[in-house]
Amino acid sequence: MAASPSPDHLFGLRNSFYIGAYHAAITSSQSLPAHALSPDDLVERDALLYRSYIAIGSHQLVIGEIGPSAATPLQAVKLLAVYLSGDAGNRESVVSRLRELLSDAAVGTNPILRLMAGTVFMHERDYAEALKHTSSGGSMELHALNVQIYLQMNRTDHAEKQLRVMQQLDEDHTLTQLANAWIDLVMGGSKIQEAHLIFQDLSEKYPATCTILNGKALCSMHMGNFEDAEGLLLESLNKDAKDAETLANLTVCSLNLGKPATRYLNQLKLAQPDHALVKRMSSAADSFDRACQAMA
């Protein structure tokens, strides 16, 4: 008789992180019995805990708590916290240190290290370098990150291929569903309704998070239902007043509704000054100023 598979103690923690329920993930990680976890599970648990803190903006807590003797995957999480902490002067050193770790034969293939490196290189817009370390897969998160990278490269064909890999591994996996919705949103047209159904299904299974609410709002905006989108985004803002995607989407939604958007844009500049929308708006304002000066 075959032995029954051991329980996956981290399933709920992972799922909370995937849907953006970061506070729930933090609570869940702290309630897991250490004696029931393998050494690898303990490292993954702590990595998810600290990544949840990064997601809610507590970068310094992560930097302070992960010491020099911590396992390599946790060192990689710390490097991500340093990179995202807002100090541009540290970014070059983070990239350099990640390259060192990735070139180390003893640790370079670790999936958490490759995931953190891929995330940093994606932020750097060095997509070729990111894919160099993520394309071999090894975890559903790495596959999902590949989808995000390909979408940022405007290569929906490659993103769809990556999605098919995820579907073959686990069609019902939360990350597979999210990746499917991301691709549908980019493709537009009739695919928007399919994305909406995915986010609706997630909202019925799990508590409403900024991730899920923003997904539903984006679908509503694509379908021209800006008032519905505004309601969803205001609900998201009540959950996290500093969530960058909520503020960015509220800015766009408000403009389409003919409402003032300056406050949301200013909040976004404070929360995430490097956000793509902030850069685009700033570039547009500069172009307008130059045009006015040329006409004067």
185-236 pLDDT, tens digit each: 999 999 999 999 999 999 999 999 999 999 999 999 999 999 999 999 999 9
Q: How confident is the model over 18-74, as pLDDT tens digits? A: 999 999 999 999 898 888 899 999 999 999 999 999 999 999 999 999 999 999 999
Q: Is pLDDT larger for residue 296 or for residue 18?
A: 18
CA-based nearest residue to 230, from 244, 247, 209, 207: 247
Give the whole-angstrom CA distance, residue 94 versus residue 126.
14
Contact partners, residue 54, CB within 8 Å, separation at least 6: 62, 77, 80, 81, 84
Q: How confident is the model over 188-201, as pLDDT tens digits? A: 999 999 999 999 99
Q: How confident is the model over 120-131, as pLDDT tens digits? A: 999 999 999 999
Give the whole-angstrom CA distance, residue 140 versus residue 168.
11
**In angstroms, what CA-CA distances link 51 with 84, 110, 149, 275?**
11, 16, 19, 19
Is 62 within 8 Å of 54 (Cβ atoms)? yes
Give the whole-angstrom CA distance, residue 2 versus residue 6.
12
CA-based nearest residue to 225, from 198, 247, 183, 256: 256
Q: How confident is the model over 228-274, as pLDDT tens digits? A: 999 999 999 999 999 999 999 999 999 999 999 999 999 999 888 88
Is 174 within 8 Å of 201 (Cβ atoms)? no
Residue ranges and CATH numbers for the domains of the chain are: 208-295 (1.25.40.10)
Residue 1 has pLDDT above 50, yes or no: no
Query: Is the pTM above the cut of 0.95?
Result: no
